[in-house]
Chain A
């Protein structure tokens, strides 16, 4: 599974990281540090929940 994040629009809610800090790492200011995530096998459900938790709606599942 691959995830794309519109990093420039991140507002620092950190809700994705509240679901999984490992999948959605934050920078020192608390904003998303990456614009792509290669989801390891077995973490798909967590990744989907992290994407849905974003109030800014900027986390997209590109490939199931």
Chain B
């Protein structure tokens, strides 16, 4: 992906000179070339909390302690980017329901209300029941490429796997997979779209699901859509607008993330053949290996808006400013993890915050963990030692999700 640095904006007066550090979280060239290498460099050289003049100017929360504190201080670090009143005014201008990715973009108490119906559906218990079918889907994708001796892992496994899992869980027709993959890739193609384009993309997601939503309302089946129809929000029956909101959040939060998590993990595995050997001999270690993968290559950057004037980490922050919880740096902080740059399967403490902490802790973390672990297990079981293709090094893209764009692997057949 081509990356052009955004222009630097002037520093506001209340930001101390020492708190300024120039970093473009979308387009810094070294970052886009090899994201986690650049993050290690930032962890060493940038302040634990800093203000960057790029992308309109915003705070970057870097250290583990600061991210941990920010995730809990929801009054200062709010997720409520658009106030309710403005949202209602926007909605009044729209020809149809404006889907909202609830509960990700609201603070408690609304957050609690909208998250509650989803909890049980994504609990460890429910998700464990899906493990076998996820394994089967992963196995099918890997078997398809096995004889080729090479693949672009992103397009052949990492991207389709979460899409088929999503379709299966929601009870959407699997034959429509290509259509959904197309919507995902369109959704991802422009990481900083204008607001109208983003709304149109959300409508496209809803359009692709709406017939199934309507059908399940009258003919419940064994899937999430049917389960959600039977749930209430704060004592009120579920409406079509609520269902559109949930469909959109699951689409946005559950596909791109898993795909890139698998990408980072498999890229690392392809560079560490002794680790592959050890895991092939001891498949029971893959769960732990997957946790250390999440820590070493934490890859999401949740945004916040400063909800009130505050002093955080000794720095003055003003209401309305934006802050990024730069979780990838938190999990590479030497104060939290000894020798953070080392991938260490035997590290005892792997309490990373790749899924963030506090009330917005990833709702899909149990599902994501199963998808990642099962995918690594099946790759290791079905393929011999796989390596990076020296002729085609991996490429990346950066933003709120730090992702793998292409990952060419080779193996002996």
State the A residues within 8 Å of B (CB). Answer: 11-15, 17, 26, 28-31, 49, 52-56
Contact = CB atoms under 8 A, between A and B. Distances in A.
B45 interface: no
A11 B123 contact: no
A52 B336 CA distance: 13
A31 B353 CA distance: 17
Interface in B223-281: none
Contacts, number: 45
Given A29-B119, A30-B366, A12 B361 contact: yes
Contact of B124 (A17, A53, A55): A17
Interface of B: 119-120, 122-125, 348-349, 351-353, 355, 357-359, 361, 365-366
Given A15-B351, A55-B351, A55-B353, A28 B358 contact: no
Chain B at the A interface: mostly helix, strand, loop or mixed? loop
Nearest to B126: A30
A12 B31 CA distance: 32
Contact of A28 (B123, B355, B357): B123
A12 B348 CA distance: 21
Contact of A52 (B120, B123, B351): B351
B348 A52 contact: yes
Nearest to A54: B351
Contacts of B366: 14, 30
11 contacts: A12-B361, A13-B361, A14-B366, A26-B125, A28-B120, A28-B125, A29-B120, A31-B119, A52-B349, A52-B351, A55-B357
Given A26-B125, A28-B123, A54-B351, 5 more contacts: A14-B124, A17-B124, A29-B119, A30-B125, A56-B357
Contact of A30 (B119, B348, B351, B359): B119
Contacts of A52: 348-349, 351
